[in-house]
Amino acid sequence: MSLWGGRFKEKASVQFKKFNDSLPVDYRMAVQDIVGSIAWAGAIHKVGVLSDDELVNLQNALNELKASVEQNPNQILESDAEDIHSWVETQLIEKTGDLGKKLHTGRSRNDQVATDLKLWCKETGGDLLFALVNLQQAMMNLAEREKGTVLPGYTHLQRAQPVTFGHWCLAYVEMFNRDIGRLKDALYRLDVSPLGSGALAGTAYPIDRKTLAHNLGFRAATMNSLDAVSDRDHVIELLASASISMMHLSRFAEDLIFYNSGEAGFVEMSDLVSSGSSLMPQKKNPDACELIRGKTGRVVGSLAGMLTTMKALSLAYNKDMQEDKEGLFDALDTWLECMEMAVLVADGLKVNRSRTLAAAQQGYANATELADYLVSKDIPFREAHHIVGEVVLAAIEKGCPLEDLTLTQLQTFSGKIGQDVYQHLSIESTLDKREALGGTSRSQVEQAIANIQSGNEEILNEQVAGAPGKHQVNVALQQVKQRLDAQRAAVMSVRRARMSDVEKIHQLVDYWANEGEILPRTQENIIHDVQNFVVAEIGGEVVGCASLYIYQKGLAEIRSVVVDKEFHRQGQGKALVQYLLEFANQMELKTVIVLTYIPDYFSALGFGLIDKSSLADNIIEDSDQSANKNPNEEVAMEYIVDRLEK
């Protein structure tokens, strides 16, 4: 059904219809269109367009349609509707008859599509923000692992000064941190609702647009109807954020492609992100990095295309703006995929530490240290620079590093060079001197990792605290924070249990069982079930444990969550539970339950109370009551694992 056929005597040609229709692209905004329609129904009900019964009928029909779309979005593509708005309206009319035709009162497709797209961008922004933080975390994990690894630093692709591999990782962490800032800024600016702006002049109905905006999760409503329906700055800003971030990812990929080359041999890519040659069996190609580098042009091209489309459009809406979504969707999909692939690359990277050290010791990377040494002997830097240049030339002629020149040989260039010069020429000395803020010394790398880790938490906490329960971006950020916490638990202190942990697990379980806090478990039972346990470590010592018992496809229970009493209130229990929730997500479980006497603790971790009697008999039988507890105080709680899905 066409939404505009009354003015026309003839139908559009098949060729034009195919050229004009946007459904194959904008069907991705179906849920947002329905959500906006539900809110609009409420708004026109308040001004008397809809009766109470009509509002209920429309909202019920729209909610049914939303559930159907969420279950099977591809059903939309079977339609010959012009766009997602006409598809939703047609489906609504089929469900409610003439009532469905009343919904569009006071609304235009111009403000409707602008609203849909902003809602989609807000929700997608949460996934992108999580991916950026996740990528940062992967690089910080790698920095922590390789913080002491020596790496030659380069300028002009010439060896310059030694750095640490951890310092190299943190350079990209800084880039991704700026990407996070740009994305957050873009999400803030787009968080205003255009709904109620009509085609261009505003709606003729006395709609409370501020309340409507808040009901949709926006922080405010737009202030000018002409601008509201024709603004695509948010598309351009998101594409710009994606393009800059992809440029960073491309530099990351290029570095690793070089480091992975046979000429450098600094790193080896995981088999998970590499491919071979159909002809040369010895080849192992860094295809993941090459594709990241290649896809950067695709994202930058989308930005250039959108800028070109918008550069000469008169106010207000023009059909040219239909071109905004295809490039945006593709660019953000590509950005997200490349970030996730970069995490896989970083997680599986093997560093050849002997090769990087050998390379750092070549190329006279310690020449600057010799110059600084001469400065400490009261020689002006420019003169010291010249002297060291002559020393390097002599070392090249002799085919040896600076530190292999004898003291007598060095003193021919300056009598102020003493025996103490050699301690300044070592790689260790070169690195340790870089203690200034942002330097490559090991202590600075460790401090930077700690600062960035806490900074990320502050960023997410600040956003989530903004307007809990009302702001869709903040809801997405809450999910990001849950995922980040789960991942940090995995890499910082929690791991899967091993047979060597059995005795310590038994000690912990036995202690708290004797205290009446949990049910006892024999050592034989723990041995049999060890594959279901995870442990928390501090300084290599096991200080806590927990287990995940799978009852059936889709259902599991968290059991035996205990932490050594000397390490309480340090977050280990939370880390154990979050690790198991992330593991449950990877296992594609649907629900995780817990039987507990401390519901507030698990409520803070996202669990909700359920009726204990609703649990299957075998679950209750497996969970006998503690002798020291009142059975009436034990409650059942569940966690819906879908919350961790992207």
Q: How far apart are CA 128 and CA 132, in angstroms?
A: 6
For 32, residues 6+ apart whose C-beta sits below 8 A from its C-beta are 115, 116, 117, 119, 120, 123
Q: What are the residues facing 550 on neighbouring strands?
A: 556
Query: 302 versus 623: which is more confidently predicted?
Result: 302
Domain with CATH 3.40.630.30 in the chain: 494-644
pLDDT of residue 621: 58
Which of the residues are catalytic? 156, 277
Q: DSSP secondary-structure letter at 215?
A: H
Percent with pLDDT over 90 in the chain: 44
- Give this prediction's pTM: 0.66
Q: Is the peptide bond before 316 cis (omega within 30 degrees of 0)?
A: yes
Region 281-307: mean pLDDT is 90
The rounded distance, in Å, linking the Cα atoms of 620 and 617 is 5
Give residue 441's pLDDT band: very low, low, confident or very high (50, 70, 90): low
Token readout for 184 is 């957050």
- Both tokens of residue 72? 């099977």
pLDDT value at position 3?
A: 57
494-644: CATH topology: Aminopeptidase (3.40.630)
pLDDT tens sequence across 198-236: 999 999 999 999 999 999 999 999 999 999 999 999 999
In this prediction, residues 380-389 reach a mean pLDDT of 89
Give me the phi and psi of 608, to 5 degrees please. -120, 150
The tokens of 52 are what? Answer: 């109470």
Residue 646 predicted with pLDDT over 50: no
- Look at residue 476 in the predicted model and tell me its pLDDT: 42
CATH code for 5-105? Answer: 1.10.275.10
Q: In angstroms, rounded to a whole number, what is the distance separating the alpha carbons of residues 165 and 604?
A: 38
pLDDT at 422 over 90: no
In eight-state DSSP terms, residue 314 is P
DSSP state of 9: S
Whole-number Å distance between alpha carbons of 374 and 386: 11
Q: What is the mean pLDDT of residues 297-312?
A: 95
Longest Cα separation, the chain: 101
DSSP run (H or E) holding 390: helix 381-398
CA count, 13 A, side-chain hemisphere, 121: 32
449/107: higher pLDDT:
107
| pLDDT of res. 454 | 63
Query: What homologous superfamily is domain 145-201+224-358 in, according to CATH?
Result: Fumarase/aspartase (Central domain) (1.20.200.10)
Give the whole-number percent of the chain exceeding pLDDT 70.
83
What's the average model confidence in pLDDT over 416-427?
A: 74
What b-and-e string marks burial along 155-194, b requiring 16 or more CB atoms within 10 Å of the CB? eeeebbbbbbbbbbbbbbbebbbebbebbbebbeebbbbb
| pLDDT, mean of residues 510-530 | 87
DSSP 331-356: HHHHHHHHHHHHHHHHHT-EE-HHHH
CB 127 within 8 A of CB 332: no
Name the segment(s) of the chain with CATH classification 1.20.200.10: 145-201+224-358
What pLDDT band is residue 463 in, cutting at 50, 70 and 90? very low
Four-way CATH pick for 367-425: 3.30.1490.20, 1.10.40.30, 1.20.120.140, 3.30.70.120: 1.10.40.30
Tell me, rounded to whole angstroms, the distance of Cα 631 from its chain centroid.
42
Per-residue pLDDT tens digits for 56-102: 999 999 999 999 999 898 899 988 888 898 999 999 999 999 999 99
> Is residue 419 a contact partner of residue 425, using CB atoms and an 8 Å limit?
no
Residues of the chain with CATH 1.10.40.30: 367-425
What is the location of CATH 1.10.275.10 in the chain?
A: 5-105
Please, which pLDDT band fits residue 8 given cuts at 50, 70 and 90? low
pLDDT greater than 50 at residue 477: no
Separation between Cα atoms, residue 583 and residue 563, nearest integer Å = 20
Higher pLDDT, 444 or 348: 348
Predicted pLDDT of residue 475: 46
Which backbone phi and psi does 593 adopt, to 5 degrees?
-110, 165
The Cα 69–Cα 75 span in angstroms is 7
Mean pLDDT of the chain: 84
pLDDT at 442: 61
Q: How confident is the model at residue 278 (pLDDT cuts 50, 70, 90)?
A: low
